[in-house]
Amino acid sequence: MCPPALPSTLGQLPTPALLLDLDILERNVERMAQRARQLGVALRPHVKTHKSPQIGRLQQGNGAQGITVSTLEEAAAFADHGFDDLTWAVPVILGRLEEAQRLAERVRLRLVIDSAVALEALEASGFPFHVWLEVDCGDHRCGVDPEGREAAALAAALAASPRLCFDGLLTHSGQAYRATSPVGLPGIAEQERRVMTQLADRLRRAGVEVPAVSIGSTPAMSAAASLEGVDEARPGNYVFYDFTQVELGSCEVGDCALTVLSSVISCQPGARYAVVDAGALALSKDPGRGGGKPTLGEVFEDYRGARLSAGVRLTGLSQEHGLLSAPLPVGTRLRILPNHSCLTAACFDGYWVLRGTQVVDRWPILRHKS
């Protein structure tokens, strides 16, 4: 994948190109590690954001204890790169238990369930899987109702299983992405903590051993005042942040490490728009948080510099075309701050790693999906 010699500067890169600002990345990794220490929780970062062993090792070097993945392909790819403690933080796919077992025979793979059906399948497998019970702390996607009977019944069954190893209670405060203002984030973070610690307390009072409580999302981690009673957190997006996190109030524009370098390829005389070479397969079609007409990323002529093209937005994306809200000369090169860095990274084979405008490395992205 790597060219024989790296281009030496930003100006020499072909577009569209995925740019990773290493100074910002390192700062983000250090800050979140520090924040986790201050809050008294272990950090198990979600690598679905970057799919990069290099970034995973940077996180481990800053004290991360294990990693989180979103697919079995990610788990296997990171296992191949020496990562040996992985939580697959999506309810297990029942048709893939044999694959999961083969992987769990060589690394510590922790599965997640939220149903009796999945528990039965794991018991029937006969393999001593590590298992988290997923709890719905308000996102209403996956996870058992913390107030319902299922939560207590499944936790008790897991804790009592003669074969399975119960890791504890796990949740994801995805509702933080629907917060209407940064003011709402601390409340969402506290709700996540409270729901989880109250359930853990209730189970423990009933005699169920709950080894740990795992929570996490980048916006909630940015806002949590206390994580008392929580053992680990699993934020992922914070390594890069993105325009959605800026709008949420999790970070500033200057904290965003990932941009897409693009070129204007079309602009007609008299037109009020221009077209760039970064489309849905360079930025994803994530509409971000804008209501109504989607705004598909913020545009800079000179990122973090003075030449911010204030008000220039992406207003449309087709497969390989992006529409800008203002005309700019053909050949103009722009850095686009994407709405969603996780989906953007998954469009590319690798990162162009920069210090300022110098290209210092090329890191592959393990985006394998069978």
Q: Contact residues for a copy of itself (CB under 8 A)?
A: 1, 14-17, 48, 70-72, 90-96, 99, 114-115, 117-118, 121, 134, 136, 141-145, 148, 150, 174, 263, 265-269, 275, 277, 280-282, 284-287, 318-321, 323, 329-331, 333, 342-343, 346-350, 368-370
Q: Which residues contact 196 (CB under 8 A, 6 or more apart)?
A: 135, 137, 146, 169, 171, 213, 215, 229, 230
Is the CB of 227 or the CB of 348 nearer to a copy of itself?
348
170 φ/ψ angles, rounded to the nearest 5 degrees: -130, 140
CB 73 within 8 A of CB 368: yes
Is the CB of 43 or the CB of 274 nearer to a copy of itself?
274
CB 203 within 8 A of CB 17: no
* Helix H or strand E segment including 74: helix 72-80
Q: Which two tokens stand for residue 45?
A: 């970062």
Cα–Cα distance, 207 to 102 (Å, whole number): 33
Q: Which two tokens stand for residue 240?
A: 């890069």
Shortest distance in whole angstroms from residue 164 CB to a copy of itself: 17
Shortest distance in whole angstroms from residue 277 CB to a copy of itself: 5
Is the CB of 200 or the CB of 275 nearer to a copy of itself?
275
Is the CB of 21 or the CB of 136 nearer to a copy of itself?
136
Would you say how long the chain is, in residues?
A: 370
Cα–Cα distance, 71 to 79 (Å, whole number): 12
Shortest distance in whole angstroms from residue 146 CB to a copy of itself: 11
Is the CB of 22 or the CB of 77 nearer to a copy of itself?
77
Cα–Cα distance, 27 to 96 (Å, whole number): 38
Shortest distance in whole angstroms from residue 328 CB to a copy of itself: 11
Shortest distance in whole angstroms from residue 94 CB to a copy of itself: 5
What is the residue whose two structure tokens read 């200057």? 254
Is the CB of 37 or the CB of 368 nearer to a copy of itself?
368
Shortest distance in whole angstroms from residue 40 CB to a copy of itself: 28
DSSP of 311-346: T-BEEEE-SS-EEESS---TT-EEEEE-S-HHHHHT
Give the number of other Cβ atoms within 10 Å of residue 191's Cβ: 16
CA 149 to chain centre: 31
Shortest distance in whole angstroms from residue 226 CB to a copy of itself: 27
Is the CB of 231 or the CB of 300 nearer to a copy of itself?
300
